[in-house]
Chain A
Amino acid sequence: EVQLVESGGGLVQPGGSLRLSCAASGFTFSNYWMSWVRQAPGKGLEWVANINQHGNEKYYVDSVKGRFTISRDNTKNSLYLQMTSLSADDTAVYYCARDTAMATGAFDYWGQGTLVTVSS
């Protein structure tokens, strides 16, 4: 059974940093692109970043470029999102998602999400 379990969310002050983790199991993690998708409270879904199987291709939505860094450790079946210079606009539930095997950009499995709240 595919499982994605996020952790690392919490309350952080504006300008602060946070590192999210996603532990993957039930599939060959190193075979898949992986993504982070976020959802602000009461709002829709926003793709944030993705990373290829080897970790040498990374893409970001413009609003987080230069502030967020996606990474992965295939030996630990884990995905990460390092977030810096956080603002209130980054307050959201952050989901780890697996890109489909057929095409990157569609997400067939999602974690339960971890809430990041940016507030003083």
Chain B
Amino acid sequence: DIQMTQSPSTLSASVGDRVTITCRASRSISSWLAWYQQKPGKAPKFLIYKASSLESGVPSRFSGSGSGTEFTLTISSLQPDDFATYYCQQYNSSPWTFGQGTKVEIK
């Protein structure tokens, strides 16, 4: 199985900050990577697919990059609604696997 590792596990930031979350795969997944946002008690929300493609309706302050084994999710200017937990997920090969999550907290 492909292991996904996110860093950091927790990130403290302020409104307006640029935030970057890293996701590493245990072997190459090409660009078959998705990012999700989850708020407490809610279902995950689909943000980005194929490493860098923004899902329709997702604000343009979110962006993704990377390929192979190294990926990043960047929020260009953190907004109050962005405080949440973010998960990366590979869909290169089954079983589909998620990172452990990165919680973005208010500083």
> Contact between B46 and A105 (Cβ–Cβ < 8 Å)?
no
A95 at the interface (CB under 8 A from B): yes
**Given that A45-B87, A95-B43, A111-B43 are contacting pairs, would A102 and B98 also be in contact in the complex, using a CB cutoff of 8 Å?**
no
Residues of A contacting B99 in the complex (Cβ-Cβ under 8 angstroms)? 44
For B1, the closest partner residue in chain A by CB is A62
Given A44-B101, A46-B98, A47-B97, A105–B91 Cβ distance below 8 Å? Answer: yes
Are B46 and A44 in contact, with the CB atoms below 8 A?
Answer: no
Once A and B bind, how many residue pairs between them come within 8 Å at the CB atom?
A: 61
| 15 further A-B pairs in the complex, CB-CB below 8 A; given A100-B46, A103-B49 | A35-B96, A45-B36, A45-B44, A45-B87, A45-B89, A46-B98, A47-B97, A62-B95, A102-B50, A103-B32, A103-B91, A106-B32, A110-B44, A110-B46, A111-B43
Q: List 15 A-B contacts (CB under 8 A).
A: A35-B96, A44-B101, A45-B87, A45-B101, A100-B46, A103-B32, A105-B32, A105-B94, A106-B34, A106-B91, A107-B36, A107-B44, A107-B46, A110-B44, A112-B42
